[in-house]
């Protein structure tokens, strides 16, 4: 007999505005507890020293998390000039200083070099694995960490505000981009020292900070019994995936993992994921359309 999973059958996405100093794992645990959900996961780690958007998947929404890992992201961040640190943010020790303070014109002339597809070396204090160990664990243990350069995509990189000691920016970027590395490389190109002092994520794929809830707001809604109203549908993370409408009999087959025949012509690419939706506009399964059939690969049990 199957072991009954603890918790409530809660399914959907919570758009959390993560507070400062809270790690992503602890944030997920807190939200899972508030909803009493059986399982939970997040789409993209956010450092404890960063605030902002952390999409959290509950229940069957966890099956769509992989589709969010490649999603475009937006950030707001501030560089404070004068010092480089080991971590490229306020947590690290100062390793170099410079009196140089880039002007607005100097910064704006440098920015085009960092737009488009660029090469970037991730920070040594990052979650990338080196020989099976996290880079930040090796760096904290004093071991030499050499990370390879890789290509990342910067869709937008704009200067927003400047003071004598700081410069604030907005960035829209693709997966795998490290804002701390972007700040490090920009400072180096300006013959200056600088590190990130403020970092806030404002968008992940279809999720925007304007849709988010703070932990305090979620706790208050939980006390009033209205926390479920903050859930966004499971299929929200699949907004750019082709949709196949299905009938009730077809839904029954798909729920049992059986392929269904398509009676009408279709134009789905055999290598692209397709989302099957039921008559009640509820996500049923993710799969592929090949040889006139839709074969489910991930079935949503809701």
47 is catalytic: yes
225 contacts: CB under 8 Å, gap ≥ 6: none
Which of 17, 47, 89, 185 does the annotation list as catalytic?
A: 47
Active site residues: 47
């Amino acid at each position: 007999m199957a072991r009954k999973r603890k918790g409530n059958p809660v399914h959907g996405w919570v758009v959390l505005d993560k507070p400062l100093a809270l790690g992503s794992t602890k944030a997920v645990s807190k939200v899972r507890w508030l909803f009493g959900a059986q399982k939970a996961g997040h789409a993209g780690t956010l450092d404890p020293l960063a605030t902002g958007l952390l999409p959290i998947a509950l229940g069957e929404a966890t099956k769509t998390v992989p589709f969010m890992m490649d999603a475009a992201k937006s950030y707001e961040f501030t560089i404070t000039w004068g010092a480089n640190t080991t971590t490229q943010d306020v947590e690290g020790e100062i390793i170099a200083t410079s009196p140089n303070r880039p002007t607005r014109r100097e910064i704006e002339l440098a920015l085009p070099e960092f737009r488009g597809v660029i090469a970037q070396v991730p920070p040594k204090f990052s979650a990338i694995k080196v020989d099976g160990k996290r880079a930040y664990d090796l760096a904290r243990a004093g071991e030499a960490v050499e990370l390879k350069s890789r290509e990342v995509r910067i869709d937008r990189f704009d200067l927003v505000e400047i003071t004598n000691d700081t410069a604030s920016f907005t960035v829209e970027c693709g997966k795998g981009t490290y804002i701390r590395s972007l700040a490090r490389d920009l400072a180096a190109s300006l013959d200056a020292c600088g590190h990130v002092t403020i970092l806030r994520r404002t968008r992940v794929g279809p999720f925007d900070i304007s849709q988010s809830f703070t932990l305090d707001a979620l706790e208050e809604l939980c006390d009033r019994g209205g926390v479920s109203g903050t859930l966004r549908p499971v299929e929200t993370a699949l907004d750019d995936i082709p949709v196949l409408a299905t009938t009730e009999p077809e839904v029954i087959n798909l729920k049992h993992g059986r392929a269904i025949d398509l009676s009408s012509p279709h134009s789905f690419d055999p290598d692209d994921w397709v989302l099957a939706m039921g008559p009640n506009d509820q996500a049923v399964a993710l799969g592929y359309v090949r040889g006139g059939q839709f074969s489910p690969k991930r079935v949503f049990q809701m």
